[in-house]
Amino acid sequence: MSSRRPFTVHALRRRIALGLPAAWALGTTAARAAAPRALTVAAFPAIDQIVRGAVPAWRELHPDVELKVVSRRASDHHVAMTTALSSQSNLPDLFALEADYVGRFSLGSGLEDLRRAPFNIEALRQRFVPYAYQQATNPRGEVVAVPTDVGPGTLLYRSDLLQRAGLVEADLVRSWDGFVEAGRRIKASTGAVLLAHARDMKDILIRAGVTPGDGIYFGRGNTVRVNSPHYARAFELARAVRKAKLDANIGSWSSDWTEGFRRGGIATQMMGAWLAGHLNNWLAPGTRGLWRAAQLPEGAYAAYGGTFFALPRAADPAGKALAWELATLLTTDRRLQLAAFQQHDAFPAAVDTYGDPFFEQPIPFLGGQPARTVWREAARRITAPTVHKQDRFAEEVINTELDKVLLRGKDIPTALGDAERLLKQRALR
Q: How many other β-carbons are positioned within 10 Å of the β-carbon of residue 252?
A: 14
**Helix 391-408 / helix 99-106 crossing angle, nearest 10 deg:** 130
Residue 367 lies in a domain: no
Residue of 386, 366, 352 whose CA lies nearest to 138: 386
Half-sphere exposure of 261 (CA within 13 A, CB side): 27
Measure the CA–CA gap between 133 and 47, rounded to whole angstroms.
Answer: 19
Measure the CA–CA gap between 272 and 270, rounded to whole angstroms.
Answer: 7
Return the C-alpha torsion angle 418, 419, 424, 425, nearest 10: 80
Measure the CA–CA gap between 150 and 129, rounded to whole angstroms.
Answer: 8
Same domain, 121 and 179: no
Same domain, 248 and 311: no
Question: Could you report the per-residue pLDDT of 298-344, keeping only the tens digit for each?
Answer: 999 999 889 999 999 999 999 999 999 999 999 999 999 999 999 99
DSSP per-residue string spanning 44-88: -TTHHHHHHHTHHHHHHH-TTSEEEEEE--HHHHHHHHHHHHHHT
Question: Mapped to the 3 state alphabet, what secondary structure does 226-290 carry?
Answer: CCCHHHHHHHHHHHHHHHCCCECCCCCCCHHHHHHHHCCCECEEEEECCHHHHHHHHHCHHHCCC
**9, pLDDT greater than 70:** no
Measure the CA–CA gap between 165 and 144, rounded to whole angstroms.
Answer: 48
Residue 122 lies in a domain: yes
Residue 2 lies in a domain: no
> Could you give the percent of the chain with pLDDT greater than 90?
82
Question: Could you report the per-residue pLDDT of 258-313, keeping only the tens digit for each?
Answer: 999 999 999 999 999 999 999 999 999 999 999 999 999 999 999 988 999 999 99
Measure the CA–CA gap between 266 and 217, rounded to whole angstroms.
Answer: 29
Question: Could you report the per-residue pLDDT of 182-196, keeping only the tens digit for each?
Answer: 999 999 999 999 999
**Helix 199-207 / helix 229-243 crossing angle, nearest 10 deg:** 160
Measure the CA–CA gap between 260 and 248, rounded to whole angstroms.
Answer: 9
Question: Could you report the per-residue pLDDT of 106-150, keeping only the tens digit for each?
Answer: 888 999 999 999 999 999 999 999 999 999 998 889 999 999 999
Residue 128 lies in a domain: yes
DSSP per-residue string spanning 308-319: EEE-BTTS-GGG
Same domain, 142 and 236: no
Q: How many other β-carbons are positioned within 10 Å of the β-carbon of residue 213?
A: 11
Same domain, 106 and 224: no
Same domain, 296 and 327: no
Same domain, 243 and 328: no
Residue of 307, 203, 304, 180 whose CA lies nearest to 251: 203
Expressed as residue numbers, the domain containing 40 is 11-150+305-360
Measure the CA–CA gap between 381 and 363, rounded to whole angstroms.
Answer: 23
Residue of 311, 329, 323 whose CA lies nearest to 144: 311
Residue of 350, 312, 309 whose CA lies nearest to 18: 350
**30, pLDDT greater than 60:** no
The domain total for the chain is 2
Identify the pLDDT of residue 188: 98
Same domain, 287 and 206: yes
Biggest CA pair distance of the chain? 74
User: Residue 34 — pLDDT band, cuts 50, 70, 90?
Assistant: low
DSSP per-residue string spanning 177-234: HHHHHHHHHHHHHH--BSBS-THHHHHHHHHTTPPTT-BSSB-GGG-B--SSHHHHHH
* CATH number of the domain to which 259 belongs: 3.40.190.10
Same domain, 268 and 322: no
